[in-house]
Amino acid sequence: MNGSEVDERLESIRDAKRAPGTSAKEILSEEKFKSIWLEVHYMEGFPPSASALSNLEDWILKHTNKSQGLELTLKEIPAAGQDNYSVTEVREIEDQNRTAYNFGNKLGMYILILDGYYEKDTDTQASLGFAYRNTSIALMGKRVDERSGGFAKPDLETLETTVLEHEFGHLMGLVNLGASMVNEHEDDDNSGHCDNGECLMYWAVESSYIYNHFGGEVPKLGANCLADLKAAGGK
């Protein structure tokens, strides 16, 4: 790399360490970036289903204006072997492994699939995934495996698809995280989530309550969330 390329790389790395929602317009519109490079890293033993990744790719392209499309790369990384992970630890793992950063008119985004649980899980509520930076989300692979495929539980593809799309919704600025609300619809009791119980951005989607609430269907974005995306540059 020459000096200007190094500077661009360092700036892109810094830009990828902001809060979820701050890149909403960059993700949704084509003003700055015409394509997305989505890098997916999974810890050994927890590969995502191919169909869930395909569903996610279709969903992203459905709601964003990216004339040059989306490139997805998939890679296994060593299992860290921890029972629980903090947000700080997840960020450190990303910093050690991520290569997809902004370059030219391509927007870098990142998914990390872990082999353990979220450290803030309780006996009554468990996280299936979370957005932790402006272009980064984590999927708790072990928890997702446990919560899928059994009696009265969604299949793995459905659960992975639902959680991934929900967390990407947060990166796109939903709800009130960077995409301004056209109509007031943020849940008073669960900030950052939609008050429509049938919407993809309802709070239960990213928790262990999901299969009690939605059954075996991948929920869709409600009218208010769709309006927010369009107003922020999406479709």
- Cα separations (Å) of 38 from 52, 98, 107, 109? 14, 11, 8, 5
208 pLDDT higher than 60: no
CB atoms within 10 A of CB 89: 15
Give the amino acid at 59: W
pTM beyond 0.85: yes
88 vs 187: CA distance, rounded Å: 27
Q: What does the pLDDT read at residue 123?
A: 74
Report domain extents, the chain: 3-231
CA 66 remoteness from chain centre: 18
Q: What does the pLDDT read at residue 116?
A: 95
For 58-106, the pLDDT digits (tens) are 999 999 999 999 999 999 999 999 999 999 999 999 999 999 999 999 9
C-alpha torsion angle, residues 88, 56, 186, 128 (rounded to 10): -50
CATH architecture for residues 3-231: 3-Layer(aba) Sandwich (3.40)
- β-sheet bridge partners, residue 138: 112, 130
For 122-175, the pLDDT digits (tens) are 877 788 999 999 999 999 999 999 888 777 677 889 999 999 999 999 999 999
Q: What does the pLDDT read at residue 22?
A: 98
